[in-house]
């Protein structure tokens, strides 16, 4: 078993590119100017020039072939800049389509997905990017359908200044593209990438807070020199780091075609408890089980007291047995 | 009769000490100590804290004085958990009182049957027995010195990184959730949405605690020292376990108050045991406050607050 928490060289390149891109193209002035709708058409154009809308699609359809783990890094950089560009929604919706049209691959038509099934009147409520999406993918009954229609360009003003809108699943050009199984994969991807963008928001917020606490003075000292201030920040590090690790584990699991809905839901903090409670063994638990099994194979049924009494001959045998199986070096 | 200590703290301590000896020990120390510890063939305990030195560990006063190729040790240690079962004690001593407090410390790894060592029990609310240990004219050869003379603080840094991040206090949540779940299924409480939600939150916390600990282990395995990351692991995992233990006890009602093997005890007493062993988790191995200082100063770059 090996475990590696470092980003790969490819992932590092993606991180550097997109963090720089959004830092330059989506400074606070751009974010403010896009309110209250929460969509910047010029920023979207620049994302198109970069090839970002299609990067999660296979190379055969003209996409960038990025893995979900790489897309999570893109999503985090979006969050860092709270960029008014619905890349996460678009990327996930485009990945559901078996044969995405050229305008979806290049991003000249924005795609999104309805998070809840259509209601009795055929309405998808609060579709992310619904104000600007020309293609919406969602569930109606037991079908997964894609609907092309003209976006309203506006939506209800909301707490997050995001371009959500209610959309009809009946009006426009409809196409059945699959069933709810495909939907659940898309929904898991959306949760992972949305969680990744929130990790970016939290990371940047922590950085800004720490920087401010070092520069703001009270009582003749930076407020960051007071323990009461420091400890509030210190507690956030584990929450932010832990969230990032969970997001990357979930993305990694999906990339390996082993969707781990528990990690995906957990990453967003909105979980289906049925899924989470069914814990599956991780590699480390597997390792522990292997060690326990080898101990019992090597010594027969035993316990620690017996091992304690019998001394180092057993220890040598155990060491050898573990080494032969590659479990220790 | 006091319930025997569960094997997991003993193994964790053994792995911590084995990790330290592996990093800073001599070849002779490695050969003699590590195999027995790793296999569970012998145990070790930590002689760090003293009655007047815990969070301010560098101010310990247990004294080791050189006498030719031997040392003579005098002093007292607190919270030497497992000293009554262990074969080895990792002892932090002061060897030079005339330099700044962090620079005059030396660590030893001593056989606990060395003449002059006395072990006295200290009983705790978790039913875990810990100890006070006393060292009266304990005379040991220099071969039991671990790391450089007056290099004890560096040895300690290695040990605390392992203790907090790699094997310390990060895995209790998994068995607790399993035990509570068995109780909840047996009683039908698992059908309650609130119970399920709390179990799900505990499962998420367990997953995060595991990932943070794995990250620390990965850093250690890659040759680094997870000083800040170890503190982050403990800062997350210890309060998370306390939260779960408290909530599961509340959810279990009076059955969650009954002790091991009592009729009607939730999860055969494990719920009660968890909530009584939870408080110490944010104290031992570096308190939550000390770990926050560490993350704030070394992780986030804030000025020293003390």
B203 touches chain A (CB under 8 A): yes
Q: Do B303 and A234 touch (CB under 8 A)?
A: no
**Is there a contact between A7 and A67 (Cβ–Cβ < 8 Å)?**
no
Residue B190 DSSP code: G
Q: Highest mean pLDDT: which of A283-292, B5-14, B68-77?
A: B68-77
How much is the pTM?
A: 0.76
From the list A213, A241, A315, the residue facing B39 with the nearest CB is A315
> Does A209 contact chain B (CB < 8 Å)?
no
Q: Which of A233, A262, A312 lies at the smallest CB-CB distance from B296? A: A233
Report yes or no: A309 at the B interface, CB cutoff 8 Å: no
Residues in B touching A3 (Cβ below 8 Å): 214, 217-218
Cα separation, A220 vs A222, in Å, equals 7
Nearest 5°: CA angle at B234, between B232 and B237? 105
Enumerate the residues of chain A whose CB falls inside 8 A of the CB of residue B38: 315, 319, 328
A227–B305 C-beta distance less than 8 A? yes
CA distance B106 to B93: 5
Residues of B whose CB is below 8 A from A214:
301-303
Task: Single out the residue of A156, A207, A184, A212 nearest to residue A38, CA to CA.
Answer: A156
Please tell me which residue, B231 or A261, carries the higher pLDDT value.
Answer: B231
pLDDT, one tens digit for every residue, chain A (329 residues): 467 888 888 889 999 999 999 999 999 999 999 999 999 999 999 999 999 999 999 999 999 999 999 999 999 999 999 999 999 999 999 999 989 999 999 999 999 999 999 999 999 999 999 999 999 999 998 899 999 999 999 999 998 899 999 999 999 999 999 887 888 899 999 999 999 999 999 999 999 999 999 999 998 999 999 999 999 999 999 999 999 999 999 999 999 864 444 554 444 444 344 444 333 344 444 544 555 555 555 544 444 334 433 444 444 555 455 555 554 43
Residues of B in contact with A318 (CB under 8 A): 39
Q: For B121, what's the count of Cα atoms within 13 Å in the CB-facing half-sphere?
A: 7
- B224 touching chain A per CB within 8 A: no
Partners of residue A277 in chain B, C-beta under 8 Å:
181, 196, 199-200, 203
pLDDT digits (tens, 9 = 90+) for A218-258: 989 999 999 999 999 999 999 999 999 999 999 999 998 64
How many CB atoms sit inside 10 A of residue B230's CB?
Answer: 31
Q: Average pLDDT of chain B?
A: 89
How far is B240 from A266, CA to CA, in rounded Å? 15
Nearest Cα of chain A lies from the Cα of B67 at a distance, in angstroms, of 32
B35 in reach of chain A (CB within 8 A) = yes
Peptide bond into A36 cis (omega under 30): yes
Helix A180-215 with A227-255: angle, nearest 10 deg: 160
Query: What is the DSSP code (8-state) at residue B302?
Result: P
* Residue B84 touches partner A, C-beta closer than 8 Å: no
Asked if A276 lies within 8 A of B204 by C-beta distance, the reply is yes
Chain A residues lying within 8 Å of B43, measured CB to CB: 308
- How distant is the Cα of A104 from the closest Cα of chain B, in angstroms? 36
- In this complex, is the C-beta atom of A194 within 8 Å of any C-beta atom belonging to chain B? no
The whole-number pLDDT of residue B130 equals 92
Yes or no, beta carbons of B211 and A225 under 8 Å apart: no
Assign residue A141 a region (left: φ > 0; alpha: ψ between -120 and 50; beta: otherwise): left
Size of interface A-B (CB pairs under 8 A): 148
Name the band, by pLDDT with cuts 50, 70 and 90, for residue B9.
low
Asked whether the beta carbons of residue B302 and residue A224 sit closer than 8 angstroms, the reply is yes
B301 inside 8 A of chain A by CB? yes
Q: Is B148 on the interface with A (CB under 8 A)?
A: no
The CA distance from A10 to B88, in Å, is 47
User: Which of left, alpha, beta for B188 (phi over 0: left; psi -120 to 50: alpha)?
Assistant: left
Pick from A227, A245, A312: CB nearest B215: A245
Which residues in chain A touch residue B40, judged by CB atoms under 8 angstroms apart? Answer: 304, 307-308
Q: Dump pLDDT digits (tens) for B19-32.
A: 899 889 999 999 99
Q: Is A329 on the interface with B (CB under 8 A)?
A: no
Q: Is B85 a catalytic residue?
A: no
Q: Do A273 and B197 touch (CB under 8 A)?
A: yes
| Per-residue model confidence as pLDDT tens digits over A20-30 | 999 999 999 99
Interchain pair B212, A279: CB under 8 A: no
């Amino acid at each position: 078993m090996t475990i590696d928490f470092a980003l790969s060289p490819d992932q590092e390149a993606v991180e550097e590119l997109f963090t720089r891109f959004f830092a330059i193209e989506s400074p606070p002035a751009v974010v403010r100017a896009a309110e209250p709708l929460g969509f910047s058409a010029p920023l979207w154009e620049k994302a198109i020039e970069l090839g970002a809308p299609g990067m999660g699609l296979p190379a055969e359809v003209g996409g960038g072939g990025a893995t979900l783990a790489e897309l999570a890094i893109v999503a985090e950089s979006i969050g860092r800049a709270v960029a008014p560009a619905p890349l996460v929604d678009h990327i996930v919706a485009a990945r559901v389509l078996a044969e995405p049209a050229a305008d979806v691959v290049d991003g000249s038509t924005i795609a999104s997905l309805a998070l809840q099934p259509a209601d009795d009147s055929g309405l998808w409520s609060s579709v992310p990017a619904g104000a600007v999406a020309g293609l919406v993918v969602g569930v109606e009954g037991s079908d997964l359908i894609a609907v092309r229609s003209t976006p309203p360009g506006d939506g209800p003003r909301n707490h997050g200044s995001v371009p959500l809108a209610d959309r009809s699943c009946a009006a426009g050009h409809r196409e059945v593209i699959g069933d709810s199984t495909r939907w659940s994969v898309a929904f898991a991807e959306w949760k992972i990438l949305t969680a990744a963008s929130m990790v970016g928001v939290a990371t940047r917020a922590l950085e800004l807070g720490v920087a401010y606490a070092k520069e703001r003075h009270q009582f003749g000292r930076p407020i960051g020199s007071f323990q009461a201030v420091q400890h509030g920040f210190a507690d956030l590090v584990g929450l932010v780091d832990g969230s990032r690790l969970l997001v990357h584990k979930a993305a990694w699991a999906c990339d390996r075609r082993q969707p781990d809905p528990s990690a995906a839901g957990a990453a967003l903090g909105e979980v289906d408890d049925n899924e989470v409670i069914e814990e599956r063994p991780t590699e480390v638990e597997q390792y522990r089980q292997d060690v326990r099994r080898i101990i019992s194979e090597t010594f027969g049924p035993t316990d620690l007291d017996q091992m304690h009494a019998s001394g180092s001959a057993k220890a040598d045998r155990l060491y050898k047995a573990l080494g032969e199986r590659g479990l220790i070096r | 009769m006091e319930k025997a200590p569960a094997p997991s703290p003993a193994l964790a301590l053994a792995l911590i000490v084995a990790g330290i000896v592996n990093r800073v020990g001599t070849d002779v120390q490695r050969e003699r100590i590590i195999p027995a510890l790793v296999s569970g063939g012998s145990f070790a305990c930590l002689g760090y804290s003293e009655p007047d030195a815990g969070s301010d560990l560098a101010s310990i006063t247990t004294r080791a004085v050189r006498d030719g190729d031997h040392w003579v040790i005098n002093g007292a240690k607190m919270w030497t958990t497992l000293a009554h079962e262990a074969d080895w004690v990792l002892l932090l001593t002061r060897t030079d009182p005339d330099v700044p407090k962090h620079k005059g410390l030396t660590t030893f790894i001593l056989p606990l049957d060395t003449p002059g060592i006395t072990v006295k029990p200290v009983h705790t609310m978790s039913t875990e027995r810990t100890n006070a240990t006393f060292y009266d004219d304990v005379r040991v050869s220099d071969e039991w010195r671990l790391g450089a003379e007056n290099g004890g603080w560096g040895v300690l840094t290695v040990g605390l990184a392992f203790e907090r991040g790699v094997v310390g206090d990060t895995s209790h949540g998994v068995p607790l959730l399993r035990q509570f779940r068995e109780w909840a299924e047996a009683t039908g409480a698992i059908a309650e949405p609130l119970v399920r939600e709390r179990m799900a939150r505990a499962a998420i916390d367990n997953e995060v605690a595991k990932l943070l600990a794995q990250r620390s282990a990965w850093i250690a395995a890659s040759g680094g020292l997870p000083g800040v990351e170890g503190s982050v692991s403990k800062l997350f995992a210890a309060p998370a376990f306390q939260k779960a233990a408290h909530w599961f006890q509340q959810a279990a009602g009076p059955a969650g108050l009954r002790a091991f093997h009592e009729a009607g005890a939730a999860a055969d007493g494990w719920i009660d045991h968890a909530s009584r062993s939870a408080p110490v988790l944010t104290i031992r191995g570096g308190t939550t406050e000390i770990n926050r200082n560490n993350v704030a100063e070394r992780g986030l770059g804030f000025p020293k607050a003390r």
